[in-house]
């Protein structure tokens, strides 16, 4: 009988350029204080002109592989979750596989917008389960969430420009000891709500043209009030259903790693989740909403700070365009020892003092 599949290593990457609230506020017609009060965000990172989504993803992937002590050729599957691919084709994952030299990996993309990492991790975990396993020999999957939202934001749109940053996070999945690893997942898509978040032009329905450019139809758009309502209506039920499916009481959960959409919105929905014994991990004050990267970045921050103990019940959850919700319940597996990070990310991040954040 195969061992369960779990997270055996994490990694993340944030670009060097930082955009503080003062800079973003000026273009959006608001104040820095207003941004922090409405979102809990203080700054976000911006990809350099030469950096694409694949570059950020490759950096995070290398860090996860190094922590796992694996060579790229040991990876069977490489999945990139992104809604800001390098270009329409080929898949960004194919470029990442070349950058990290994962020559044996089947590489493909997943686009469930900000929920993408949860969908990608679930797909990879189920594929690994189906393969023969050998202790210490895999199979292994590299799952990456990466987005460069700065390229599709209208700086004058205060509904979106204040929220998003660029970054990438990664995990290595592989066989873990019995009693740890993934327990269950829950993935749903409310396609009837797909209009809440979109980039209207640039695809087969509205190809790029002078008219779409003049209209600004290539910018990312979001109905903020509608998204908030969707989260309040759907996220608590998704978490309760996940725990019921696994027959796990909410009081047993020790950690919640949510999509870092908006700290104030997360604080508002926190009481309805029923996870009073859990710690909600928030790192968004220093990197904002990084789309599909936000869950794995936050997971890496917490892991490298030594906040997870083997056996801890942990919920990962995200929500995003489509509208989609993805959640996973896992029992934290033995991982490579979390070493004090020398990079800017882990050294700088401190969780914001928002209501509901423990």
Residues with active-site annotation: 114, 259, 289
Cis check for the bond before 323: say yes or no (omega within 30 of 0): yes
* Whole-number pLDDT of residue 134: 67
- Please tell me the distance from the alpha carbon of residue 177 to that of residue 82, in angstroms, as a whole number: 30
* Whole-number pLDDT of residue 337: 53
Q: What's the pTM?
A: 0.92
* Whole-number pLDDT of residue 138: 85
Each residue's pLDDT tens digit, 232-289: 999 999 999 999 999 999 999 999 999 999 999 999 999 999 999 999 999 999 999 9
Query: What are the distances in angstroms from CA 275 to CA 269, 270, 300?
Result: 11, 8, 21
* Whole-number pLDDT of residue 1: 62
CA geometry: angle 97, 50, 102, nearest 5 deg: 10
* Whole-number pLDDT of residue 288: 96
- Please tell me the distance from the alpha carbon of residue 55 to that of residue 146, in angstroms, as a whole number: 9
Going along the chain from its start, the domains and CATH numbers come out as: 5-178 (3.40.47.10), 182-348 (3.40.47.10)
Each residue's pLDDT tens digit, 316-327: 999 999 999 999
* Whole-number pLDDT of residue 340: 44
User: What length does the chain have?
Assistant: 358
Regions of the chain where pLDDT drops below 50: 339-358
- Please tell me the distance from the alpha carbon of residue 185 to that of residue 287, in angstroms, as a whole number: 27
Residue 59 CB neighbours (<10 A): 24
């Amino acid at each position: 009988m195969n061992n369960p599949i779990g997270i055996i290593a994490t990694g993340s990457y944030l670009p060097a350029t930082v955009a503080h609230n003062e800079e973003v506020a000026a273009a959006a017609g608001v104040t820095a204080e207003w941004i922090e009060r409405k979102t809990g965000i203080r700054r976000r990172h911006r990809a350099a002109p030469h950096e694409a989504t694949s570059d950020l993803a490759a950096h995070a992937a290398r860090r996860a592989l190094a922590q796992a002590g694996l060579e790229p050729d040991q990876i069977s599957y490489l999945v990139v979750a992104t809604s800001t691919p390098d270009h329409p084709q080929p898949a960004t994952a194919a470029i990442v596989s070349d950058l990290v030299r994962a020559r044996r990996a089947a590489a493909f993309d997943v686009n469930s917008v900000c929920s993408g990492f949860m969908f990608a991790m679930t797909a990879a975990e189920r594929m690994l389960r189906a393969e023969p396993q050998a202790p210490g020999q895999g199979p292994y999957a590299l799952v990456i969430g990466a987005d460069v939202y700065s390229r599709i934001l209208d700086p004058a749109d205060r509904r979106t420009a204040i929220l998003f940053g660029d970054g990438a996070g990664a995990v290595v999945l592989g066989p873990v000891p019995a009693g740890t690893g993934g327990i269950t997942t829950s993935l749903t898509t409310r396609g009837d709500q797909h209009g809440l978040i979109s980039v209207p032009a640039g695809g087969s329905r509205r190809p790029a043209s002078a008219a779409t450019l003049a209209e600004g139809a290539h910018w990312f758009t979001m109905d903020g009030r509608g998204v908030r309502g969707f989260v309040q209506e759907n996220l608590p039920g998704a978490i309760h259903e996940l725990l019921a499916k696994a027959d796990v009481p909410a009081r047993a959960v020790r950690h919640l790693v949510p999509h870092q959409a908006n700290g104030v919105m997360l604080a508002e929905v926190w009481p309805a989740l029923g996870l009073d014994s859990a710690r909600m991990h928030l790192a968004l004050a220093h990197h904002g909403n990084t789309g599909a990267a936000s869950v794995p970045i936050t997971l890496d921050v917490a892991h490298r700070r030594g906040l997870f103990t083997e056996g801890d019940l942990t919920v990962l959850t995200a929500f995003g365009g489509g509208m989609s919700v993805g959640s996973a319940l896992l029992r934290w597996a033995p991982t490579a020892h979390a070493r004090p990070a020398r990079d800017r990310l882990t050294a700088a991040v401190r969780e914001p003092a928002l209501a509901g954040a423990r």
